[in-house]
Structure 1
């Protein structure tokens, strides 16, 4: 577990540094390119892709659980994360409360969905559970924003924020999955 946490943090912080260096390197190149028209197209194209995902989820049963439900449920997760961060982060300057809340909520939801995948017998329920986990929770939780915020906080505050996020998330996961395993036993994952 410790290796996974350290590895994830190291890779994420390394990716942040590489991205920062690439941004500085490409700054002169990107200024010459006109990107104004792409901003105007982003919302209608994104909405069109989401509508296409909904239509495909209704019509194409084969890809529902693997891809389509995740595509349909991703935008609500991203929207909840955006608004929670926007409204919650300014409350405490030394602790990004909005990001903390969505990461903890997403972690608890993922643990609950995993319990649901042990309980349900298959079919559309399994596809929805996978879509909620991969799509909604995948966009609700955010390692990238978490790492940027850890990096931007003063020393001391960054350790408190990162430590609280990791410890509370792990404790919730152990509580939810452990409670189920303790009562029901560790069975085979149904879906």
Structure 2
């Protein structure tokens, strides 16, 4: 994030001044974070390291730099400090004529309903692409191809997608999120909340550990959680470090000044982008419905994928709304603001729904129901839960003034999800004697 973000800005009138006010409010709760712990994060702001829902879109759209939550600045090494507000006196601000090009450019805004549609469509499109990527990675590293993961191993089937998504979160959710936000805040949130959130899945991870424990493989279940957390955490760290190295090398080239992304302020450009994304969403849903109809009574191995692509965006949208709880705390006093309750609720809820469908699949012996239930697990639950945001928040807490909070957050998420999953899935399986 630029140092210039705290410098006096030209005076604006009318809607131009409102944009400046929104920029100021955004800077109050955003912060820079780099991988070192030489400087430490603000006590409460770490809970906003991942998603914050609509608050992030609204604040980023009209911020001068387009910087986003958890953004990095390659020119300030080892900084983990909250950005504080520096109020500017009216007497320090030069005036701008309402007829000036600067005023006319900055007052251009999409109507609220088009902004709303744009953000949700970005989330849906990139969420579906995340579901498809997760499916391909599961097949590639699963027993049928590479054989690195399996259903009866602590190297669970969703481990490769979770590692890849966490690595990419280091790139696009940390180091380059501010740059992407300069071009389009909706695209930045779509990439992190939509694509990376749907590429990774906490509910699938939790369910595989439940299935190991229900068969008596408690050691494998424990190792699956422990090894999984270690691998995704270091995937994220590796992503941050490689992205910082790439940015450093890129900034030393002459191309860096020519390839900077500028924010999409032109109304026509924004409308065209919305039309393109709506068209892509229609095509993705259309293809998924067509292929689901074709395979529903035949090949069940891919039917759940197409059903998952149809319902996946619903999971993304719910998680996006829940993200607004991050950084809000509990009650009027807002206690425990450091805990990202939105992400916690999304992951626990998805794990419980996943376990419930797994129980129903064992009690209902029907091929079509199995396709629908598996599709809901893969699409809705997979997109509602997230590992990439979870691990970004975990790492932000580890670099804060209270690193123990990271482990409290991780263990709370795992213990609650696994305990409720045991009650919903394991206990009925043991009682009924299902294999």
Q: Which residue in 1 is equivalent to 2:239?
A: 19
Q: Which residue in 1 is equivalent to 2:365?
A: 121
Q: Which residue in 1 is equivalent to 2:151?
A: none
Q: Does 1:169 align with 2:417?
A: yes
Q: Which residue in 2 is equivalent to 1:91?
A: 328
Q: Which residue in 2 is equivalent to 1:53?
A: 288
1:99-152 deviation line (CA, Å, top 9, x unaligned) = 000100011111111101101112211100000011111111111111111111
Q: Does 1:158 align with 2:406?
A: yes
The CA distance in 2 between the partners of 1:44 and 1:15, in whole Å, is: 34
1:174 shift after superposition: 1.1
Are the counterparts in 1 of residues 357 and 377 from structure 2 also a CA contact under 8 Å? Answer: yes
Helix, strand or coil at the partner of 2:357: helix
Q: Which residue in 1 is equivalent to 2:309?
A: 71
Structure 1, unpaired ranges of 5+? none
Extract structure 1 runs of 4+ deviating beyond 4 A: 33-37
The CA distance in 1 between the partners of 2:423 and 2:346, in whole Å, is: 18
When the two structures are aligned, how many residues end up with a matched partner?
186
Instruction: Give the TM-score normalised by the residue count of structure 2.
Output: 0.40
The CA distance in 2 between the partners of 1:113 and 1:67, in whole Å, is: 16
Structure 2, unpaired ranges of 5+? 1-220, 330-336
Between 100-109 and 47-56, the greater mean CA deviation after superposition: 47-56
Structure with max Cα Rg: 2
The CA distance in 2 between the partners of 1:138 and 1:44, in whole Å, is: 24
Between 22-31 and 71-80, the greater mean CA deviation after superposition: 22-31
1:42 shift after superposition: 4.2
* Greater helix proportion: 1
Instruction: Give the TM-score normalised by the residue count of structure 1.
Output: 0.85
The CA distance in 1 between the partners of 2:224 and 2:363, in whole Å, is: 27
The CA distance in 1 between the partners of 2:421 and 2:354, in whole Å, is: 8
